[in-house]
């Protein structure tokens, strides 16, 4: 296990512990312009029972070995073999502790992959998850090798006045030649992927937090010069996260310091290194002029997520990378719960479900399908997916639903108690809930092994004479590319029988088939079960799968009248939203399947009325009403059509529906727009954000209906915050592309925010996502813009990523020119940053679902990329699996 050279597959079943046990690490990193010297002293011991002549194998990646010393004596060249990818040492002591001192030399400036030690705007920074530590020194670079680390960093004092490491600072001082050093000590055993070092000229926002047992923790957020004021909201979110984890899970922070560093060049959102989180600065830096409400919510979530990893990920880590969902699914669940408590639960749940459907469902239903716990991989970086993260979180949520809140907390307590300091597995995790709730979760564990989205089919039959309602639930799982099992799983289905008065009837049900019924929860365990409810006053409206209690495709034939009733009456707010969302999505899907040129409206007047009624209902939270107005996206509709998709047709339908809603709802929408428009004082709280969302949604519809850019221009000019300004600019760029007023607004935006890379990313994205065929010419022009660079992942995502993922019309241009352009960028990018190229390439995965012309062109493009010589393992893996 753990040999991951090109083409090799790593398998879960091959897991075995290392031959050598790591007892401690002492490192010195000397940073210079153009190079870094790394000395790692590893305390090791042969594992009892391991053969006396077994050599030590250490992982490397692009390393140069400078020296190798065993217990103070240089090793003879014939006792070891070093290549850039590995170090093998023979003749090590049969028993007892020994020290191997490994000296390597690396080039952070040349590291464009942003894995290992690299430089971002002059700042030295590391990213080690998953396998980046082996790019710093030869190591047992796998998550089940845990040790305490003591790290000394040396650098030029002017270039890097700030020197940060994991754990607590224990020493610092001056050196000759204007250099200085700092020593950091991390007493907690940790795997190498949580190692971090940062050095540079950074500003600090300092604060403190007193833990529940009264310990004072020094908090620091480090930013590039002049930007620490923009970290205020992140700091606030951090303190709220710390307090929440104490309240909700009894988890207290464990070191004397907690530092966060914001970096401009970063492959992912952020990283939970012990005591030293490193963030993409997009998830730290904010103020009302540069950031939208969505950005604020993103910072809050990511800050919380990384902080929560301190217990779920760091104190208890993963035995191997197959267990990635053990920390990621659980931590996403925790950050979702935090946001639900801090903001509004239903609105947050709608957001999470939208995300799941937009990102995880297509993954689970296409060629990149894999179980939440994969059984094999060629490149682990390609498994930081929506399935591992978001479906992983749904599995934890289902466990909580099945065992109930008390036993869920008991199970979590047990997990922390039993496995603190360990590298654990999914089995360990599940066992804790089995023990806490005294229940058998072995069938539930199938969720971790079987890929695919189950379909839950619901049928109803009402017997008016007997006043009896029968509800039948069936589950099925289609064979997908992962080829995993198709056994029935455990589906927790929350429900209610809603009466005409908007109240749930309390009815006892009799179960026939494999299911359990308790209160408002049916747990379906077999392929089918029928529940009979007796003595009902009237035919109830069945509100099924409340709060999306299981990640399934719901197939429920329900009359339009029943759905409209639920959209008005359902006491479960989530299902009120879903009743309408399903109606709209189905109508649009049906319309998009009709022949091109068929312009009969997608949405019936009653549906539009219901939508407007919900949006206009002052008894409801504005954020919820804004969710009601957000139409399903074009890619959601495309996914539901599933075959022979014509993206132009889908766009036409969505566009027409938007205009129809705008026209029919004009009076209400005008009122919402005015009533909920921003007040001068900006506050990022959820309620204020919800009001802005509602007002801006209304403006979108009004603009679509009137075909008049005037109101958006006016809002663009008078806006006092980025939420309103970018919402207006998006309407202009997407509804009025090419209009001279749009061009002027885009130019103005550029000039206003030219100095700020994060806002410039928005400028690139707004243009790249304009739904028009000639957007391809725009993105070609933007790729030649002096501010475009392939070296900054955010910028690549803002232009190439956004175009490929969020522009169904231009990316999927029938002539295939969109595919060609993205493919060309992918290959160029791959030589710089394979992780980002591989991620971008996933936008091709749905190729089989398109109409024959596009399908052929997509396939041809994928094949061309796949046959390109010298592709990274990352990109090769994605394109090969996509073609599967």
Where do contacts with Zn ion occur on this chain (CB under 5 A)? 328, 331
For ligand ARG, the closer CB: 268 or 477: 268
Nearer to ligand ARG, 115 or 529 (CB): 115
Residue closer to ligand ARG, measured from CB, 305 or 725 = 305
Judged by beta carbon, residue 116 or residue 628, the one nearer ligand ARG is 116
Distance of closest approach, residue 724 Cβ to Zn ion, in angstroms: 32
Closest CA to 617 of 663, 561, 573: 573
List 129, 245, 342, 652, residue binding ligand ARG (CB under 6 A): 129
CA-CA-CA-CA torsion sign (402, 407, 413, 417): negative
In this chain, which of 237, 271, 456, 802 binds ligand ARG, going by CB under 6 A? 271
Q: Which of the listed partners (Zn ion, ligand ARG, none) does 267 bind, with a CB threshold of 5 to 8 Å by partner kind?
A: ligand ARG
SS3 state of residue 259: strand
Cα angle: 127, vertex 264, 244; to 5 degrees: 70
CB of 272 to Zn ion, least distance (A): 6
280 binds ligand ARG (CB under 6 A): no
SS3 readout for 112-179 = CCCCEEEEECCEEEEECCCCCHHHCCCECCCCCCCEEEEEEEEEECCCCCEEEECCEEEEEEECCCCE
End-to-end CA gap in the chain: 25
268 binds, among ligand ARG, Zn ion, none (CB under 5 to 8 A by kind): ligand ARG
Cβ contact 816:289 at 8 Å: no
Least distance from ligand ARG to the Cβ atom of residue 245, Å: 15
Specify the residue, 331 or 726, whose C-beta has the smaller distance to Zn ion: 331
The sign one gets for the Cα dihedral 790, 796, 801, 804 is negative
Contacting ligand ARG (CB under 6 A), which of 189, 267, 450, 543? 267
Binder of residue 141, out of Zn ion, ligand ARG, none (CB less than 5 to 8 A by kind) = none
The nearest distance, CB 421 to Zn ion, in angstroms, is: 20
Sheet holding 203-210, edge to edge: 203-210, 216-223, 257-263, 276-280, 270-271
Position among 89, 268, 398, 583 found at the interface with ligand ARG (CB under 6 A): 268
How long, in residues, is the chain?
Answer: 884
Smallest separation, CB 280 to Zn ion (Å):
13
Query: Shortest approach of ligand ARG to residue 322 CB, angstroms?
Result: 14
Nearer to ligand ARG, 302 or 584 (CB): 302
Residue 668's nearest CA partner among 702, 692, 636, 642 is: 702
**Positions 820 through 849 that interact with ligand ARG (CB under 6 A):** 835
Rounded distance, CA 810 to CA 848, Å? 18
Burial of 160 per CB tally in 10 Å (0-12, 13-18, 19+): buried
Picked from ligand ARG, Zn ion, none, the partner binding residue 547 (CB below 5 to 8 A depending on kind) is: none
Strands of 49-129, DSSP E: 56-59, 64-70, 73-74, 80-83, 86-89, 97-106, 116-120, 123-127
Using the contact rule CB under 6 A, the part of the chain among 268-276, 683-691, 713-721, 815-823 near ligand ARG is: 268-276
Reduce the secondary structure of 768-809 to three states and give it as a string.
HCCCCCCHHHHHHHHHCCCCCCCCCHHHHHHHHHHHHHHCHH
* Residue 390 found at the interface with ligand ARG (CB under 6 A): no
CB contact at 8 A, 321 and 1: no
Residue 631: how many other CB atoms lie within 10 Å: 21
Q: Is 381 in the site for ligand ARG (CB under 6 A)?
A: yes
The least CB distance from residue 105 to ligand ARG, in Å, is 23
The item of Zn ion, ligand ARG, none sharing an interface with residue 271, based on CB under 5 to 8 Å by kind, is ligand ARG
Among residues 306 and 581, whose Cβ is nearest to ligand ARG?
A: 306
Which does residue 339 touch among ligand ARG, Zn ion, none (CB within 5 to 8 A, set by kind)? none
- Nearest CA to 512 out of 481, 471, 464 is that of 471
With CB under 5 to 8 Å by kind, the binding choice for 144 among Zn ion, ligand ARG, none is none
The partner residues of 522 in beta bridges, in order of sequence, read 493, 517
Q: Which does 723 bind (CB under 5 to 8 A by kind): Zn ion, ligand ARG, none?
A: none
Residue 669 binds ligand ARG (CB under 6 A): no
Q: Which stretch of DSSP H or E encloses residue 820?
A: helix 817-830
Secondary structure letter of residue 357 according to DSSP = I
312 binds, among Zn ion, ligand ARG, none (CB under 5 to 8 A by kind): none
Q: How many Cβ atoms sit within 10 Å of the Cβ of residue 158? A: 10
* Min separation Cβ 129 and ligand ARG, Å: 5
Beta-carbon contacts of 451 under 8 Å, excluding residues fewer than 6 positions away, are 364, 369, 370, 371, 387, 480, 482, 484
Residue 275 CA: distances (Å) to CA of 29, 221, 618: 18, 12, 45
Q: How many residues of this chain interact with ligand ARG, rule: CB under 6 A? A: 13
**The one segment of 167-175, 269-277, 430-438, 628-636 that binds ligand ARG by CB under 6 A:** 269-277
Interacting partner of 59 out of Zn ion, ligand ARG, none (Cβ under 5 to 8 A depending on kind): none
CB 793, min distance to ligand ARG, A: 11
Closer of 384 and 763 to ligand ARG (Cβ): 384
- Its sign, for the CA torsion 674, 676, 679, 684, is negative
Q: Which CB, 119 or 563, lies closer to ligand ARG?
A: 119
CB of 834 to Zn ion, least distance (A): 21
Whether 271 and 309 have beta carbons less than 8 Å apart is answered as: no
In this complex, which beta carbon is closest to ligand ARG, that of residue 120 or of residue 835?
835
Tell the smallest beta-carbon distance from residue 392 to ligand ARG (Å): 11
Q: Which does 130 bind (CB under 5 to 8 A by kind): ligand ARG, Zn ion, none?
A: ligand ARG
**306 tagged catalytic:** yes
Among 141, 224, 328, 342, binds ligand ARG (CB under 6 A): 328
Selection from ligand ARG, Zn ion, none that 381 binds (CB < 5 to 8 A by kind) is ligand ARG
Q: What is the rounded distance in angstroms from the CA atom of residue 722 to the CA atom of residue 728?
A: 10
Cβ closest to ligand ARG, residue 325 vs residue 536:
325
d(CA 181, CA 153): 5
By the 10 Å C-beta count (0-12 exposed, 13-18 middle, 19+ buried), 74 is classed as exposed
The answer to whether the peptide bond before residue 196 is cis (omega within 30 degrees of 0) is no
Find, among 69, 65, 101, the residue nearest to 85 by Cα: 65
Structure tokens at 216: 């004072």
**Could you say which of 270, 276, 650, 841 contacts ligand ARG (CB under 6 A)?**
270
What is the closest distance, in whole angstroms, from the C-beta atom of residue 812 to ligand ARG in the complex?
A: 28
Residue 840's binding partner, choosing from ligand ARG, Zn ion, none, with beta-carbon cut-off 5 to 8 A by kind? none
Q: Which of residues 286-325 bind ligand ARG (CB under 6 A)?
A: 305-306
H-helix segments, 213-344: 232-249, 293-308, 324-342
Catalytic entry in 306, 328, 363, 434: 306
* Nearest CB to ligand ARG, comparing residues 337 and 636: 337
> Which residue has the closest beta carbon to ligand ARG?
384
- List the beta bridge partners of residue 123: 120
C-alpha distances in Å from residue 837, one per residue of 212, 368, 790, 875, 878: 44, 16, 10, 6, 10
Cα angle 61, 65, 68 (rounded to 5 degrees) comes to 125
Question: Of 305 and 343, which has the nearer Cβ to ligand ARG?
Answer: 305
Q: How far is the CB of 183 from ligand ARG (least distance, A)?
A: 26
Q: Can you give the binding site for ligand ARG, defined by CB under 6 A?
A: 129-130, 267-268, 270-272, 305-306, 328, 381, 384, 835
Give the catalytic positions in this structure. Answer: 306
């Amino acid at each position: 296990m753990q040999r991951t050279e090109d083409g090799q597959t790593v398998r879960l079943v091959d897991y075995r512990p290392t031959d050598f046990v790591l007892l401690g690490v002492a490192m010195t990193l000397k940073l210079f312009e153009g190079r870094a010297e790394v000395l790692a002293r590893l305390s090791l011991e042969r594992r009892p029972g391991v053969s006396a002549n077994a050599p030590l194998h250490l992982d490397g990646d692009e390393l140069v070995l400078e020296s190798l010393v065993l217990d103070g004596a240089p090793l003879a060249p014939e006792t070891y073999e070093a290549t850039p990818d590995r170090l093998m040492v023979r003749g090590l002591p049969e028993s007892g502790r020994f020290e191997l001192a490994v000296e390597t030399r690396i080039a952070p400036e040349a590291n464009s992959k942003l894995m290992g030690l690299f430089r971002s705007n002059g700042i030295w920074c590391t990213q080690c998850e998953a396998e980046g530590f082996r790019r710093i020194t030869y190591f047992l670079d796998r998550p089940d090798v845990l040790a305490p680390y003591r790290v000394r960093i040396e650098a030029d004092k002017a270039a890097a006045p700030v020197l940060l490491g994991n754990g607590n600072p224990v020493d610092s001082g001056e050196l000759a030649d204007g250099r200085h050093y700092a020593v950091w000590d991390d007493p907690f055993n940790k795997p190498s992927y949580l190692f971090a070092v940062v050095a540079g000229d950074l500003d600090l926002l300092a604060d403190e937090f007193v833990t529940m047992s009264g310990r004072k923790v020094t908090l620091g957020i480090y930013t590039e010069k002049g930007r620490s004021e923009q970290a205020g909201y992140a700091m606030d979110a951090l303190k709220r996260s710390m307090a929440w984890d104490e309240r909700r899970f009894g988890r207290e922070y464990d070191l004397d310091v907690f530092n966060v560093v914001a970096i401009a060049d970063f492959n992912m959102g952020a990283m939970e290194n012990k005591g030293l989180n490193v963030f993409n600065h997009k998830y730290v830096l904010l103020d009302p002029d540069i950031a939208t409400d969505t950005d604020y919510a993103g910072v809050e979530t990511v800050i919380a997520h990384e902080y929560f990893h301190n217990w779920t990920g760091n104190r208890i880590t993963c035995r191997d990378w197959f267990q990635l969902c053990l920390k990621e699914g659980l931590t996403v669940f925790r950050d979702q719960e935090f946001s639900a408590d801090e903001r509004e639960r239903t609105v947050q749940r709608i957001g999470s479900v939208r995300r799941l459907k937009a990102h995880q469902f297509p993954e689970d239903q296409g060629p990149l399908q894999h179980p939440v716990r994969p059984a094999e991989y060629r490149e682990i970086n390609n498994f930081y997916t929506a399935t591992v993260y978001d479906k992983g979180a749904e599995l934890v949520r289902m466990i909580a639903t099945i065992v109930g809140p008390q036993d869920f907390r008991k199970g979590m307590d047990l997990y922390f108690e039993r496995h603190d300091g360990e590298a654990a597995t999914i089995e360990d995790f599940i066992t804790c809930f089995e023990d806490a709730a005294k229940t058998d979760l072995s069938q539930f564990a199938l969720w971790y092994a079987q890929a695919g989205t189950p379909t839950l089919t619901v049928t109803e039959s009402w017997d008016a004479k007997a006043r009896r309602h029968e509800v039948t639930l069936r589950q099925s799982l289609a064979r997908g590319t992962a080829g995993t099992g198709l056994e029935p799983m455990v589906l927790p289905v929350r429900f209610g029988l809603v009466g005409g008065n908007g109240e749930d009837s309390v009815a006892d049900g009799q179960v026939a088939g494999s299911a359990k019924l308790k209160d408002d929860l049916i747990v379906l365990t077999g392929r089918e079960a029928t529940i009979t409810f007796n003595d009902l006053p009237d035919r109830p409206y069945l509100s099924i799968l409340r709060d999306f209690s299981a990640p399934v495709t719901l197939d429920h034939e329900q009359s339009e009248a029943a759905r409209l009733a639920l959209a008005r009456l359902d006491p479960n707010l989530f299902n009120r939203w879903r009743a309408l969302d399903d109606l709209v999505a189905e109508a649009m899907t049906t319309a998009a399947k009709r022949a091109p040129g068929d312009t009969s409206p997608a949405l019936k007047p009653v549906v539009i009325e219901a939508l407007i009624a919900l949006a206009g209902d002052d008894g409801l939270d504005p954020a919820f009403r804004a969710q009601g107005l957000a139409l399903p996206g074009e890619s959601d509709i495309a996914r539901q059509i599933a075959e022979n998709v014509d993206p132009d047709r889908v766009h036409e339908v969505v566009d027409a529906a938007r205009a129809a809603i705008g026209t029919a709802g004009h009076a209400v929408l005008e009122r919402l727009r005015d009533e909920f428009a921003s007040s001068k004082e900006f506050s990022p709280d959820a309620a204020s954000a919800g009001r802005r969302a509602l007002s801006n949604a209304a403006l979108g519809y009004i603009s679509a209906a009137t075909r008049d850019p005037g109101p958006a221009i006016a809002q663009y000019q008078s806006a006092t915050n980025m939420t309103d300004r970018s919402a207006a600019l998006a309407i202009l760029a997407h509804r009025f592309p090419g209009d001279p007023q749009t061009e002027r607004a885009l130019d103005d935006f550029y000039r206003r925010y030219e100095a700020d890379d994060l806002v410039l990313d928005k400028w690139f994205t707004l243009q790249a996502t304009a739904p028009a065929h000639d957007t391809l010419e725009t993105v070609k022009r933007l790729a030649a813009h002096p501010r475009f660079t392939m070296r900054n992942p955010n910028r690549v995502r803002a232009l190439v990523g956004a175009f490929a993922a969020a522009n169904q019309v231009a990316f999927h241009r029938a002539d295939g020119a969109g595919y060609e352009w993205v493919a060309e960028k992918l290959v160029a990018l791959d030589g710089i940053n394979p992780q980002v190229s591989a991620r971008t390439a996933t936008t091709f995965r749905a190729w089989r679902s398109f109409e024959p012309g596009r399908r052929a062109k997509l396939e041809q493009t994928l094949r061309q990329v796949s046959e390109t010589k010298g592709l990274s393992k990352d990109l090769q893996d994605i394109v090969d699996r996509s073609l599967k």
